[in-house]
A = this chain, B = another copy of it.
Amino acid sequence: MIVHRHLFGPGPTNAYPEATEALARPLLGHLDPVFLEIMDETCARLRETWGTAANRTLPLSATGSAGMEAAFVNAVHPGDVVVVAVNGLFGQRMCEVASRCGAEVVPVEHEWGTPVDPERVVAAHPSPAIVAAVHAETSTGVRSDIAALGRAVHEAGDALLLVDAVTSIGGIELRADDWGIDIGYAGTQKCLGVAPGLAPYTIDERAFARRVERPRSWYLDLGLLGGYVGDTRGHNPARTYHHTAPVAMVVSLHAALGRILEEGLENAWARHEAAGQALQDGLETMGLELFARAGSRLPELTTVRVPDGVDSAAVRRTLLERYDIEIGAGVGEYASSVWRIGLMGPNASPDAVRLLLGALGDVLGR
């Protein structure tokens, strides 16, 4: 039985048709010259999408959460102070992952629904090795100002800036080099419009020079992964076998990035902005209250309070069963009091807005 869902939750989203078509192509060997060229182009397209010139920009062979692990396991030396801006679940997770890597973690807690405050983050410790933050908090629908955080961090000292861009990449403005992001990771299943399974990753020269030489993880060891993707700038592209690349997923990511760059990154951002704004306006017109603080709302992921007396899970179940529409529950203490509605990748469209508002209005009787 084939089920067609409208994936309007916090991810995965529906895939771009180009990504689906590529996923089903005949497989290539992971050392086939045709595949190596696709891998090189994928890395080049990821550089453009991240807004970076960093040579070590590649798709890690696991989901976005492994990107977080790769970020810390390669960067944290035992006892390093890592300041983590926490304004949702993924900031909390950063603390846990960094701690397992041997960091002395200094969390800077923010109220959920609010953005990261660069001044408080920088004031938390005089000389951290790393400052980490989430660009787009998937748990709350909040956008933090990474440009401002980058300025503050780099003015204050020589800490590395480590950023989670899982829900921002391809959906809102992201400029890794301009903003001073030294290490970044993302996922494919949000605004890039690809199935989950890869973690787009970037690390600049400064961070690479300070990396852990023999990290605890062999699979995510960036020193070894450099040989795996080769010198993707085309100079002496010797390849070292590290692991078998997930070829179908890489070919699919390559196709989706091609589609996004053909549309134009800024056009894709504008499309997400328009869809998100229309959705948020429509929800407020319906009398619903948005959760994330005004001025820091993500267009690609909207959080909305469940009205008093409404059974959150029952609404989600009805949307799924009657309309094939998935939306997400809230997280943690907001599990049953907030919904999360994503319009990402191909779903950042006026049609999706109309469909979602119409169906939700029906179910709520508004």
Docked Cα-Cα span, A276 to B232, in Å, equals 37
Q: Mark A18-60, 1 if CB is under 8 A from B, else 0.
A: 0011011111111111100000000000000000000000000
The stretch that binds B, out of A8-16, A126-134, A278-286, is A8-16
Mark A residues whose CB is within 8 Å of B. Answer: 1-5, 7, 9, 11-15, 20-21, 23-34, 61-66, 68-69, 73, 93, 96-97, 100-101, 187, 189, 195-197, 214-219, 242-249, 320, 326
Once the chains bind, are A217 and B217 in contact (CB under 8 Å)? Answer: yes
Identify the closest chain B residue to A60 (Cβ).
B62
**A3 and B30 contact, Cβ closer than 8 Å, known pairs A12-B244, A66-B219, A244-B187:** no
Residues of B within 8 A of A246 (CB): 63, 195-197, 249
Docked Cα-Cα span, A211 to B98, in Å, equals 21
Once the chains bind, are B12 and A20 in contact (CB under 8 Å)? Answer: no
Identify the closest chain B residue to A216 (Cβ).
B216
Docked Cα-Cα span, A68 to B23, in Å, equals 26
Once the chains bind, are B30 and A2 in contact (CB under 8 Å)? Answer: no
Identify the closest chain B residue to A26 (Cβ).
B4
**Interface CB pairs A-B, < 8 A, 26:** A4-B26, A5-B26, A5-B27, A5-B32, A11-B244, A12-B29, A14-B27, A15-B27, A30-B196, A61-B63, A61-B66, A63-B243, A63-B244, A65-B243, A65-B244, A66-B243, A68-B219, A69-B217, A73-B217, A93-B218, A96-B218, A195-B246, A195-B248, A196-B248, A197-B246, A197-B249
